[in-house]
Structure 1
Amino acid sequence: MEPKKPFFEVVAERLIEQLKAGTAPWQRPWEPGQPGAFIPMNPTTGKRYKGINAIHLMGQGRTDSRWLTYKQAVAVGAQVRRGEKGTPIQYWKFTEEEPKTDEQGGPVLDAKGEPVMEEVKLERPRVFFATVFNAEQIDGLPPLQRKEQTWDAVERAERILHASGAAIHHGEHDRAFYRPATDSIHLPHKGQFPTADNYYATALHELGHWTGHSHRLDRDLAHPFGSEG
Structure 2
Amino acid sequence: MADVKQKKKKKNAKEIIEENRKKIVEQLIQNMEKGYIFSEWAWNRNAFLPQNAITGKIYQGINRLNLSLVAIANKYEDPRWLTYKKLDELGYKLKEGSKGILCEKWLWERREKVVNKETGEIEKDENGKDKYQIIQLERPIINFFYLYNASQIEGIPPYIGAKTLEKTDILDIADNFIVSSECPIEEKFQESAYYSPIDDKITLPPRKFFKSDEAFLGTLLHEMSHSTGNENRLNRDIKNTFGTEKYAIEELTAELSCVFLEAELDKDIDFSRQDHINYFNSWIQVLKNDPNELYKVCANASKSCNRLMGNFEKVRNIENIQMLVDEENEIDEAI
> Where does 1:1-229 land on structure 2 (aligned, <5 Å)?
6-25=19-38, 28-30=41-43, 32-33=45-46, 38-60=48-70, 61=72, 62-101=76-115, 104=118, 106=120, 107-122=122-137, 124-145=139-160
DSSP 3-state at the match of 1:46: coil
Q: Distance in 2 between matches of 1:142 and 1:22?
A: 38
Query: What are structure 2's unaligned runs of at least 5 residues?
Result: 1-7, 168-265, 271-335
C-alpha displacement of 1:58: 0.5
Alignment: residue pair count: 151
Q: Deviations over 1:27-78 (max 9, x none)?
A: 9444624xxx742111124332111111100111132211112232232232
Query: Residue 120 of structure 1 aligns to which amino acid in structure 2?
Result: I
C-alpha displacement of 1:140: 1.8
Query: Residue 125 of structure 2 aligns to which amino acid in structure 1?
Result: D
User: Whose helix fraction is larger, Structure 1's or Structure 2's?
Assistant: 2
Q: Distance in 1 between matches of 2:135 and 2:79?
A: 34
Instruction: Report % sequence identity.
Output: 30
Query: Residue 54 of structure 1 aligns to which amino acid in structure 2?
Result: R
Q: Distance in 2 between matches of 1:116 and 1:90?
A: 29
TM-score for the superposition, normalised by structure 2:
0.37
Q: Distance in 2 between matches of 1:105 and 1:6?
A: 46
Q: CA distance change for structure 1 residues 137 and 22 in 2, over 3 Å: closer, same or farther?
A: farther
> Conserved in 2, the CA contact under 8 Å of 1:31 and 1:194?
no
Q: Distance in 2 between matches of 1:10 and 1:119?
A: 35
Query: What are structure 1's unaligned runs of at least 5 residues?
Result: 151-192, 199-229
DSSP 3-state at the match of 1:129: strand
Q: Distance in 2 between matches of 1:105 and 1:16?
A: 59
Q: Deviations over 1:177-216 (max 9, x none)?
A: xxxxxxxxxxxxxxxx957x98xxxxxxxxxxxxxxxxxx
Q: CA distance change for structure 1 residues 132 and 30 in 2, over 3 Å: closer, same or farther?
A: same
Q: Distance in 2 between matches of 1:23 and 1:51?
A: 20
DSSP 3-state at the match of 1:48: coil
